[in-house]
Amino acid sequence: MDGFSDLNLFALVARHRNLAAAARELGVTPPAVSKRLAQLERRLGVRLVNRTTRRLSLTPEGELYLANGSRILDELSELEQLVTRSRGEPAGLLRVNASFGFGRAYIAPAISEFVERFPSMQIQLQLTERPLSLQEEGYDLGIRFGEVPDARINARLLRKNRRIVCASPAYLKQHGKPSVPHDLARHACIVLRENDSAYGTWHFSRGKRAETVKVGGALSSNDGSAVLRWALDGRGIAVRSEWEVAGHIARAELTPLLSEWSLPNADIHAIYLERNRLSAKLRAFVDFLGDFLK
C-alpha cells in the first residue's frame, strides 16, 4: 500500500476516533476502513489503535505514528502548495467550519462562487452549533464571532458586526420601548441558549458604564433563526447579529432598541493555525471571503 495513503487514512481515523465517521468522509464502508487499518498494523508489526464497540483510542505506538506522520503530511502539503503556487491558481482540499445560520446564509454561497472561479479546489464545509477545534478536528479554517480567545490562532477580520437589540413594531406598539437596559426585565425577551454563556444574561456598555440584565420570557431556543422568527412575529425582544437583521430593520419589520448602548463584540473572523499561515489555497480563500463579505 502507498505509505502516504496509509498516513492519511490513519490521521483521519485518529481525528474521528470512529471507523464509521472516517468511512463516511472517505465515501467507503466501515469494513473497508477496518481492513485497511488492520493491513497497516500488520505491515508495521504493531497495534496502532485499541478498538471498542463505539470508539477507538490510540496506543503509544499509534500516538507516535500520528505525531510524526502529521508532520510528514504537513510537509507534503507545503511542498504541493509551493508547486501549485507557481501556476498561479489555488488547488487542493480545504476543510471549513462555520455556524449553521451564518454558514448557510453567507459561507455556502461564497464557497459556491469560489469553486466556480477555482475549479481545482475542493472544500468540505462542516456546519455546527458550537465551534470545533481546528487542531483536534483537523480543520483548516474556522469562521468565528467576537473576540479571538487564543493568541496562538491566526485571525483575519472578515466583517464588522454588531449585536442589536430589536423587536417588531407590533410588539412595541403594545408594550412600549425600553429606555434603559434594566427596562428589559419587565419585557418579554426571547433568549438564545448557546455555547456556555450565562442563560438569559445580557451585558451592555456605554462608555465606562456597564450594566448586566437578567432577562426572561415565554420563549427560548438554541436556534438563532427561531429566535428571529419569533421576534418578527411580535413575540418579544431579541438580540441578533447585524448581518441577520439589517434587512429586516431596513424594511421596518424590526426596530432597533437601546442604540446608544453596546453589546459584546460580534465581529466575524476567519481563524487558522500558524502552520497554515502561508498556504496558498488558504490565503486565496480567505482573501475571497473578505471581498465577498464586504
Calpha distance 58→147 (Å, rounded): 34
Give the pLDDT confidence score for residue 80 in this predicted structure.
Answer: 65
Domains delineated in the chain: 3-83 (1.10.10.10), 89-159+267-292 (3.40.190.10), 163-257 (3.40.190.10)
Calpha distance 33→20 (Å, rounded): 8
Question: What confidence tens digit (pLDDT) does each residue in 23-51 have?
Answer: 887 777 888 888 888 888 898 899 999 88
Question: What confidence tens digit (pLDDT) does each residue in 150-196 have?
Answer: 666 789 999 999 999 999 999 999 999 999 999 999 999 999 987 65
Calpha distance 12→119 (Å, rounded): 24
Give the pLDDT confidence score for residue 23 in this predicted structure.
Answer: 82
Residue 141 grid coordinates: 479554517
Compute the C-alpha angle 65/66/70, nearest 5°. 120
Calpha distance 67→10 (Å, rounded): 11
Residue 55: how many other CB atoms lie within 10 Å? 13
Three-state SS at 125:
strand
Give the pLDDT confidence score for residue 225 in this predicted structure.
Answer: 93
The amino acid sitting at 24 is: R
Cell 483548516 belongs to which residue? 140
**Residues lower than pLDDT 70 in the chain:** 1-4, 53-54, 76-88, 149-152, 195-198, 275-278
Who contacts 161 (Cβ-Cβ below 8 Å, separation ≥6)? 145, 241, 242, 243, 266, 267, 268
